[in-house]
Structures are given as C-alpha cells and as structure tokens.
Amino acid sequence: MSNRTTVTPTFSDPGDVVDAWNDTIFFADEHGKVLESRGVQLNYLPAMNRKGIPFWEVLSLETVSLEDTLRKFSPLNIHEISCNDDRSFLLRIIPLPSTVYAQEGYVVIATDNRPMEALYENYEERLEDNISGWSDSITLFNAFFDTALDSTFLIDEAGLILAANTTAQEQHAQSEQRLTGEDVRTLFGKRFHTPLRNAMNTLKAKELWTEAVVAIDGEGDGFPAEATLRKIVFTDYSLYQLILHDLTAHVELKEDLQEKKAEVKEKEIALRQVIKSVEEERKEMREQLTNQVKKRMLPALERITTSDTAEVREGYKNVIEEQLVDLASESSGEFDSELLRLSPREMEICQLIQLGRSGKDIAQLLNMAFETVQTHRKNIRKKLGLRGRKASLFTYLRQKPSLS
C-alpha cells in the first residue's frame, strides 16, 4: 500500500481554494480540461461552456495542446496575455501533483490586469509630473543661481565647492580655473577660516550666518565683503549656500563722503573766519565813524541850531554833507558815495557777494532765509541804480574797492 498522504479534507472541494481570490480560477485535469471554474468572470474573454474545454481554448491562448501551452507559458511563472481589445490579463499555471490534490491536474489563474494598468498609469503620470516639476525647479534654480549679481556658491558638508555662479567665477577664479572641487576656505582671508568652519558646524536649517570678511579674488588680493551662509537640509545630507557681497564700492563711497565732509568743514571754518573778520572790521569802522562824527559834525550841527541866519545854516549843512562823504572815504579807503545809501545788512551782503559767495552761502552764513537774501539783492540793485541794467551785482561790486 502506498504511503502517499492526500489532503482531501482541505482541498477535495476546489471552492476551498477559490474564496481567497478575486480572479478567474480554472481547475483542470491532467489533460488540461476544465473541471470547474470559480472567481470573477473576465467579461472580455470568450463566453462559452467551460467545463470539459481545454483551458488554453477558454483563455484564447492560441496554443494547440497542453504540451504546446506549457512550453509557451512555463508553469509557476507570470505571463501577460494581450487580448484583441487592447486589454490584457496575467496568466499563472500551477501544476497540482496527486500528493496535494486527489488527482493530478492544474490550477490556472487569470488575473484581470486593468487595475494594475490603471495603477501603473497613475504612478507613471505622477512620476512624469514629479520629474517635470523637478526639472522646472532645477531650471528655475539655475536661472536664479547663474544670474545672481553677487558671488554665489553651493558647498558640501566637507567644505568643498560643488557649484559657483558666473559672478563667482569671474571674481574669485584664476584664468581657466574652475572653482568646483576647491576648498571654500580659499575664498577667505586666513583669520576667517575658523569662524567659517564653526558656522558650518553649528548652523541649523533656516538659520543664517552673516559676517563682514576679507574675501580673496582671482589674483590673490583681499577685498571687503559681506558673507552670508545658509544651511539646506535634505533627508540624508546637507548643503550650504554661500553669498559673498562685494563691499569695495560701499567702502570707497564712504571714504569719499568722509573726504567731502572734511572739505565742507574746512570751508565752513574758513567762511566763519571771514564773517568774524568782517564783523570786526565793521565794528572798527563804526567806532571810527562815531569818533569822526563827534569831532567834525556835532559842532557843525550845534552851530546850525544856534545860528539865526539861513545862509549860515545852509553853509554848515553843506559842510556836514562834505564831512560825511569825507568820513566815508576815510573809513573805507576810496569808499563810493553811492554805497552810503545802503543799510548795514545790505553792506554786509555786498561784502559777501564781492567775495564770490552764492546766495545760498550768504543765507547760511548770515542765518537768514534764501528768499530774504534775494529781496536784499533787489533793494541793493535799486539803490545803486542797477535796476533795469544787464550788469550783475557781482560784476559791479568787483569793480569797486574791497568792502571788507
């Protein structure tokens, strides 16, 4: 008696195996003829009475025998079978030895491939979208990276330069040199190597490290720059973005402004000295005039008031006028009698005009509004008889003796 054991209680009814599947499952005998079928009906397969029909005919496998079928579709492997309407299904042929089933035969499983195709198409579409999005992102990044006005670098965790934009190549690379693969520290003066490395070791995602540094150009010369380091964290590694902003123009502009400020301060001091000198001379002139008036004109005025004769008073009046002109001439060299018509403030403005000061300078020096200076100029031209004439006040005054 044979010692071969069957498992009839578990597999004697083919339905015991079918319940776990949502496919079309055929149970065939040792000749390949269908004994029973279970599972989901594939509606794009030919409809026929399957029992007793070879499974290769039921599934339209285009084979002529069991041997031909098993040769073309090797058992235990998965085969994709195309149908006439552009659909397909997966075929698996599983031999059943008599040790497993009551009699030898085959389990043939036809799996509907549509869900797999739909899933594949869905993933393929998503993959294409992701690839397209990634490609667009790379294109956009490269556009920003290459057109950045400042020197911009991508650096790995070891401190090696992975990429450098056009500005960086032009400013920091020697002729025909590529910065890719170089140590980032070559871009900095030596005293900034340690701070840079410390920043790379301690910087966290989304944090920035900004420092005023001395950067090194392609000729090995240092220049002032502002360094900005940003950490970019990925799943398994990190990168760093480094931007070096050249401050040379900023420093030069600052130095120029300081020089101009110093020049303006010197001119301001010189002008204040001129004003002080003018004030002192004016004070001295007034004292001289006062003394002369007391000595020459007051006695004449007293005689006018005490004289009873009109001819005597008229004579003293003429003497006083002559004395006034003489006093003015003595007090300022060859003083022009026309200038006697001017007020002290107008004389002060004339002195500055004669020195070549502009209206704005005069307004600032005399602490008055520019419009007020212009009004004084109009009055001066009127008193000097220049109104309606083309001659400028500066030209007129330059032809006169110094008023200061």
Identify the domain boundary among 246, 261, 278.
246
Answer whether 340's CB lies under 8 Å from 328's CB: yes
The verdict on 93 and 173 lying in the same domain is no
Average pLDDT over residues 198-217: 89
Which segment, 193-197, 237-241, 249-253, 346-350, is predicted with the most confidence on average? Answer: 193-197
Identify the domain boundary among 246, 271, 301.
246
Please give the pLDDT value at position 227. Answer: 92
More confident residue, 97 or 371: 371
| CA 201/CA 197 separation, integer angstroms | 6
Q: Please check whether residue 117 lies inside any domain of the structure.
A: no
The verdict on 348 and 381 lying in the same domain is yes
Around Cβ 339, how many Cβ atoms within 10 Å?
18
The verdict on 270 and 352 lying in the same domain is no
More confident residue, 5 or 345: 345
Q: Please check whether residue 120 lies inside any domain of the structure.
A: no
Is the pLDDT reported for residue 44 higher than 60? yes
The verdict on 166 and 72 lying in the same domain is no
Average pLDDT over residues 34-63: 79
**What confidence tens digit (pLDDT) does each residue in 257-280 have?**
777 777 777 777 877 787 777 777
CATH of residue 397's domain is: 1.10.10.10
Answer whether 95's CB lies under 8 Å from 75's CB: yes
The verdict on 108 and 21 lying in the same domain is yes
User: Hey, which residues does 26 pair with through a beta bridge?
Assistant: 37, 108
The verdict on 240 and 305 lying in the same domain is no
**What confidence tens digit (pLDDT) does each residue in 136-177 have?**
666 656 666 767 788 898 889 999 998 888 888 888 888 778
Please give the pLDDT value at position 48. Answer: 58
Percent of the chain with pLDDT over 70: 71
**CB neighbour class for 384 (10 Å; exposed up to 12, middle 13-18, buried from 19):** buried
Please give the pLDDT value at position 18. Answer: 38
- The total domain count for the chain is 4
- Give the pLDDT band of residue 401 (cuts 50, 70, 90): confident
Q: Please check whether residue 2 lies inside any domain of the structure.
A: no
Percent of the chain with pLDDT over 90: 16
Q: Please check whether residue 314 lies inside any domain of the structure.
A: yes
| CA 403/CA 335 separation, integer angstroms | 8
| CA 215/CA 188 separation, integer angstroms | 5
The verdict on 355 and 302 lying in the same domain is no
The verdict on 108 and 16 lying in the same domain is yes
Q: Please check whether residue 253 lies inside any domain of the structure.
A: yes
Q: Please check whether residue 134 lies inside any domain of the structure.
A: no
Average pLDDT over residues 198-211: 88
- Give the pLDDT band of residue 15 (cuts 50, 70, 90): very low
Q: Please check whether residue 208 lies inside any domain of the structure.
A: yes
The verdict on 236 and 278 lying in the same domain is no
Please give the pLDDT value at position 325. Answer: 64
Please give the pLDDT value at position 316. Answer: 65
Is the pLDDT reported for residue 190 higher than 80? yes
The verdict on 326 and 348 lying in the same domain is no
Average pLDDT over residues 91-116: 78
3-class SS letters over 282-349: HHHHHHHHHHHHHHHHHHHHHHHHHCCCHHHHHHHHHHHHHHHHHHHHHHCCCCCHHHHHCCHHHHHH
Identify the domain boundary among 333, 365, 381.
333
Mean pLDDT lowest for which of 139-148, 201-210, 395-404? 139-148
Q: Which domain holds residue 28?
A: 8-112
The verdict on 257 and 235 lying in the same domain is no
Please give the pLDDT value at position 332. Answer: 47
- Give the pLDDT band of residue 69 (cuts 50, 70, 90): very high
CATH of residue 182's domain is: 3.30.450.20
Q: Please check whether residue 400 lies inside any domain of the structure.
A: yes
Q: Two tokens at 344?
A: 């002290």
The verdict on 107 and 12 lying in the same domain is yes
CATH of residue 70's domain is: 3.30.450
- Give the pLDDT band of residue 5 (cuts 50, 70, 90): very low
